[in-house]
Amino acid sequence: MRPAPVLLLLGMLGGTVGPAGAAPAIQPEEWRSYVEAFIGPEGRVIDTGNGGISHSEGQGYGLVLSVLADDRPTFERLWSFTATELMVREDGLAAWRWEPDSQPHVTDTNNATDGDMLIAYGLLLAGGAWDEPAYAEAAAPMIRTIGRTLLVTADGLPVILPGAEGFAGTEADARPVLNPSYWVYEVFPAFARLDPVIDWAGVGAAGLEILLRARATPSGLPADWVQLEEGGLVPARDFAPEFGYNGIRIPLYLMRAGIDAAHLEPFRASAGDGALAKVDVVSGEAIEPIGEPGYRLIAAAMDCLAGDGPVPGELRTLAVTSYYAATLQLLLLDHLRRHAPECLDGGAGP
Amino acid sequence: MRQLVLLFVLALAGVLSYAVATGSAWQSRLHADETAPRLVAQAQPPVQTTIDQPAPQASSPASAAPPAASPGTPVDETALRYFAQQGDTVRMQREIERLRALHPGWEPPADPLAQDYVPDPDIIRIWELFSAGDYAGARAAIAAKQQADPGFVPSADLLQSLALGEAGLRLRNASDAGEYATVIAIAANTPDLLVCASIDNLWRLAEAFVGTGARSRAIDAYSYILTNCTDAAERYATMQKAIDLLERDEVEPLLAMERTDAEGAGEFAALRVDLARRAVAAALETGGAQPSPADVALLEREVARSGNAEDYRLLGYYELSRSRPNEARRLFQSAMDAEPSAASAEALGVALLQLRDPEAAEAALAGHRDDNDTIAALYLDAAAALLATEPRLSVDQTVLGRIVDATMAARNANAAQELGWYAYAFQQPRTAAEWFRLALSWQADLEPAAYGLMVAANALGDTATVETIRGQWRERSSRIATFGTNAPVSQAVPPLPRERPETGQPATPAAVATSTPAPAPQTSSGARSCQVYVPAASLSPGAALSHGWCLMALNRPAQAVDHFARALQSPSERIRSDAAYGQSLAYVRLGLGDEAAVAAAAAPLTDKRAIELEIAILTQQATSAYAIGDYARAIDLLDRRARFAPERNDLLTLRAWSYYHLRRYREAQRIFAAVAATGYGDAASGLEASRAALQPFGQ
């Protein structure tokens, strides 16, 4: 990894995160409570809603958030754990699942591509924020491997394979199984600068195309797991045909990446009583609300961006509930505070 | 030597892309309610390792870590001085060794306590975290110090130490997860990990080589250890691991690297003996290869030194397998002398019977005849052979007494009819007739007993009995049909002791040789050649039956099951009966009591066979029930079995333990006491346990 492109990349990344030296958008107290609740001293992010396991997705979120919170020591902790405990795969990506009570701790050596993308993205952000080339040097092989081995073509679109094993097509059914919430839109420009051989922009566009195809379905939303066919979209075989905790990240990612707000419409429309819900995509019926504050902020933010005024006061600071809700909330608060502070201002105060 | 490590490790860099199918069938995804069945695809990515780095110039043959810093790197003595100030000489000394290894030519400062040096407590703390293996904490502490003090630059020594520690941790994690290609890649990139002080890394690397099929590399890794590493316990463990993972011929060159102590004793002597044992035991298996003469000689020397009974027996069975029963007898006698036991007695009995010395065999087996079914049956065989010996032996009253006891207890028709012939030979036709009648009552189709009764009745002038028998047996026996006429009378020859079928006991290496073939009945058709696999469906039912018995003789009950199943399709009831019997026996031999019972019902069986199977099946089922903790059922099965056959000491002990577990301590104690009184060692602990359990309630 030659120094020149890396430095170029770091310079460009500065714009995404914020000018060097600017105060982080994540408050010290709320970051401290997040760390206390969800990050262990050995550097693992603890999924409190999932038996206390750790996974590559959590590590990726943790790395990104610690850069956004300008907490380099915690970043180092997280990266040390990630590298020594999860990066045992031959292809250099992370084994996705780590359990505290198992021996060995890694209980599934398959990768989870969204986790790998988040880890690589966190490393790129860190390299730019703290002027450290070693981080980007560590990210580059991961990004190259993802680009060359985990992107496939489905119904003519370049899509992300959720894992190296088990999601590609079979003899019986050649259509790969996809997860629309694995499209972390803000990473594609960064990946493209580091590895321009791969059409990352095309991958991003394919994600939006998937959302467009979903509009034609009864619920207007994509299921958490889908397959593409003949210009359309169907819920994936062997998965529940539901939009839920996976898909709820899609509007968050769209907002953070500054994608045209028109893409938010189906999500905004499906939210009732200020909360998104789990939806049966076949019938279009809501199943149950996804109610923790972190999730409700997503719906409230969409409403604010559509002109409905600021988000409710109680959603403007971190609620330390579950790892997942708290993580999504921090990511969205970071974005709103930097790019849409009016959504957090006035109205019913804290 | 280090170059050797680097060369072999880097050379394998060519063997890098492995198709690793992890086979993880289920992957529960996050944020989903359900898991879904997974299809396993092959991952074939290029390996992302930077192995095109030049080999470091290290040339020192030391087994410690080579210099990681280029010459001129200032040596970070912070920790050293801190430990000196703390008075922690142990850690200071360790730190000195570490720095010496990292920086050859460096000498520790003359006075580590010199007051001009004030160690930075932050750096001390970072080193402490590193020493404790908390690499994440050390990294975080470095970052924190960098944030607080922008001028701080961590020393190259510190960073390299951390990188090495993290690489070692990652290697161990990859090894634990079975990611062998990663282990090899990390080792290739970080040869500093491959040192005697971290021998575990070398073991894991060798294992990874074996896991990826690079066996010669594994041998190289083990060779490196045995050439360079000196700790005796680690060398021994290394050899054990190599034996576990490699073939015998691959292990031999490693054994040759054995070191000897001052008295010339080799460090791997015990392992060599164990390999010899395994080789000799393997020869006793069906189709096992012959052991090398060196192995046999080694085991012989070992047993001469140690006098271990099990080794004596192993060698004895080996000699038996090579048709040297006299040698075997000598060895089995040594085993008995070293440690009298049912196993040794049984072995000795077998050898003596092969040597055609039934008198000695009976005597050898007598003391243990109640210990288990196998030896009980063998005892009766020896007794029958003893009685049948011509010219007739004058058998001692004591011996005769115990033979009679055993015969009555087992209701053994063959021994009974031998007693009849024996009595007849000593001019006691009345006694003889009683024995023959008894034999027939236990086994109605035993022709020699019928013939004997005819002969004895004739000597007593009991024409009625003679003619009754003639009438019953005319169709089945020519000598009975023509008895008393002028047709040439064949000498009244009692049959020799018959071989008996395997009763399904687990075969230890020492006991395998006693498995004798089941009675292979009638149909000829060259059925001995069943070594080559023939599908059962391609044979006629009759041929399948022969094939099945041939397989049983080769101790392949699992295959025999299929052939007997085919034979069950025969229109001939006789063949079907044989097949049901054979299949049931096969299941018993496989330890499947319930299946054996089902098979036994497939076709009508002779009484004798039905009883024999019933006994074997019930024994098997009772043992299985006990094993899974179903004690009440175990007792029930033992009760049912007891209607057919006496309960030997081993099953009595099982019964007593069942009572014990059911808290029927009084009954347990009663049985344990009775069994222990016969000298059966295994009952002693049960007796103690049940006595202890009864204490709170008084005697």
Please report the pLDDT score of residue B31 as a whole number. 62
Q: d(Cα B350, Cα B389) in Å, to the nearest integer?
A: 17
Rounded to an integer, the average pLDDT of B152-161 is: 88
Which residues between 261 and 290 in chain B have a beta carbon less than 8 angstroms from any beta carbon of chain A? none
Quick check: A208 and A263 in contact, CB under 8 A? yes
Quick check: B354 and B325 in contact, CB under 8 A? yes
Contact between chains at B47 and A90 (C-beta distance less than 8 A): yes
Contact between chains at A238 and B47 (C-beta distance less than 8 A): no
SS (H, E, C) B181-203: HHHHHHHHHCHHHCCHHHHHHHH
> What is the count of residue pairs from A and B with beta carbons less than 8 Å apart?
152
Contact between chains at A88 and B18 (C-beta distance less than 8 A): no
pLDDT at position B8 over 50: no
Q: Which residue of A has its CA nearest to B150?
A: A130
User: Which residues of B fall within a CB distance of 8 Å from A50?
Assistant: 30
Q: Which residue of A has its CA nearest to B136?
A: A77
List the one residue out of B351, B429, B420, B355 whose CA is nearest residue B388. Answer: B420
User: Which residues of B fall within a CB distance of 8 Å from A165?
Assistant: 22, 24, 27, 38-41, 43
Q: d(Cα B258, Cα B236) in Å, to the nearest integer?
A: 9
Rounded to an integer, the average pLDDT of B86-110 is: 81
Looking at the complex, does the CB of residue A19 fall below 8 Å from at least one CB of chain B? Answer: no
* Residue A124 neighbours by CB under 8 Å, 6+ apart: A9, A13, A135, A136, A139, A190, A194
A207-216, B51-60, B165-174, B481-490: range with lowest mean pLDDT: B51-60
Contact between chains at A148 and B142 (C-beta distance less than 8 A): no
Query: What is the DSSP code (8-state) at residue A234?
Result: E
Please report the pLDDT score of residue A319 as a whole number. 94
- The model's pLDDT over B313-327, given as tens digits with 9 standing for 90+, comes to 999 999 998 889 999
Catalytic residue among A47, A57, A70, A186: A57
Q: d(Cα A77, Cα A48) in Å, to the nearest integer?
A: 19
Shortest alpha-carbon distance between residue B184 and chain A (Å): 10
- The secondary element (H helix, E strand) that includes residue B658 is helix B649-661
User: Which residues of B fall within a CB distance of 8 Å from A92?
Assistant: 48
Report which of residues B66 and B308 the model is more confident about: B308
Looking at the complex, does the CB of residue A145 fall below 8 Å from at least one CB of chain B? Answer: yes
Contact between chains at B45 and A95 (C-beta distance less than 8 A): no
Q: Which residue of A has its CA nearest to B181?
A: A90
| E strands, B343-468, in order | none
| A57, A91, A105 ranked by CB distance to B30: nearest | A57
* Secondary structure of residue A275 in the 3-state scheme: strand
Q: Which residue of A has its CA nearest to B47?
A: A91
Q: d(Cα B313, Cα B601) in Å, to the nearest integer?
A: 39
Q: d(Cα B382, Cα B397) in Å, to the nearest integer?
A: 16
Which residues between 556 and 595 in chain B have a beta carbon less than 8 angstroms from any beta carbon of chain A? none
User: Which residues of B fall within a CB distance of 8 Å from A149?
Assistant: 43, 45
| B32, B136, B143 ranked by CB distance to A42: nearest | B136
Please report the pLDDT score of residue B72 as a whole number. 55
User: Which residues of B fall within a CB distance of 8 Å from A72?
Assistant: 143-144, 146-147
Looking at the complex, does the CB of residue B39 fall below 8 Å from at least one CB of chain A? Answer: yes
Contact between chains at B39 and A88 (C-beta distance less than 8 A): no
Q: d(Cα B328, Cα B350) in Å, to the nearest integer?
A: 9
Count the alpha carbons within 13 Å of B144 in the hemisphere toward its beta carbon.
Answer: 13
Contact between chains at A109 and B36 (C-beta distance less than 8 A): no
Two structure tokens written together for B14: 């060519």
Query: What torsion, rounded to 10 degrees, do the Cα atoms A308, A314, A319, A325 define?
Result: -20
pLDDT tens for chain A, 350 residues: list them: 444 444 444 444 444 454 455 789 999 999 999 999 999 999 999 999 999 999 999 999 999 999 999 999 999 999 999 999 999 999 999 999 999 999 999 999 999 999 999 999 999 999 999 999 999 999 999 999 999 999 999 999 999 999 999 999 888 899 999 999 999 999 999 999 999 999 999 999 999 999 999 999 989 999 999 999 999 999 998 899 999 999 999 999 999 999 999 999 999 999 877 788 999 998 888 998 888 999 999 999 999 999 999 999 999 999 999 999 999 999 999 999 999 999 998 654 44
Which residues between 184 and 243 in chain A have a beta carbon less than 8 angstroms from any beta carbon of chain B? 224-225, 238-240, 242
Contact between chains at B146 and A72 (C-beta distance less than 8 A): yes
SS (H, E, C) A1-58: CCHHHHHHHHHHHHHHHCCCCCCCCCCHHHHHHHHHHHECCCCCECECCCCCEEEHHH
- The secondary element (H helix, E strand) that includes residue B376 is helix B373-388
Report how far apart, in Å, the C-alpha atoms of A272 and of each of A279, B570, B604 are.
12, 75, 76
Shortest alpha-carbon distance between residue A202 and chain B (Å): 22
pLDDT band of B636, cuts 50, 70, 90: very high
Rounded to an integer, the average pLDDT of B497-523 is: 34
Could you tell me whether strands A157-160 and A151-154 are parallel, antiparallel, or unpaired per DSSP bridges? antiparallel
List the one residue out of B442, B448, B393, B399 whose CA is nearest residue B422. Answer: B393
Report which of residues B571 and A335 the model is more confident about: A335
Rounded to an integer, the average pLDDT of B494-501 is: 43
Which residues between 134 and 193 in chain B have a beta carbon less than 8 angstroms from any beta carbon of chain A? 134-137, 139-144, 146-147, 166, 169-170, 173-174, 176-179, 181-182, 185
User: Which residues of B fall within a CB distance of 8 Å from A166?
Assistant: 24, 27, 38-41
Which residues between 31 and 60 in chain A have a beta carbon less than 8 angstroms from any beta carbon of chain B? 41-43, 47, 50, 55, 57
pLDDT at position B494 over 70: no
Contact between chains at B179 and A89 (C-beta distance less than 8 A): yes
Two structure tokens written together for B254: 């490693």
Report which of residues B61 and B368 the model is more confident about: B368
Burial of A305 (0-12, 13-18, 19+ CB in 10 A): middle
pLDDT at position B10 over 50: no
pLDDT at position B386 over 60: yes
Backbone Cα Rg of chain B? 37
For this structure, is A132 an active site residue? Answer: no
> Interface pTM (ipTM) of the complex?
0.89
For this structure, is A131 an active site residue? Answer: no
Q: d(Cα B516, Cα B452) in Å, to the nearest integer?
A: 28
Shortest alpha-carbon distance between residue B66 and chain A (Å): 23
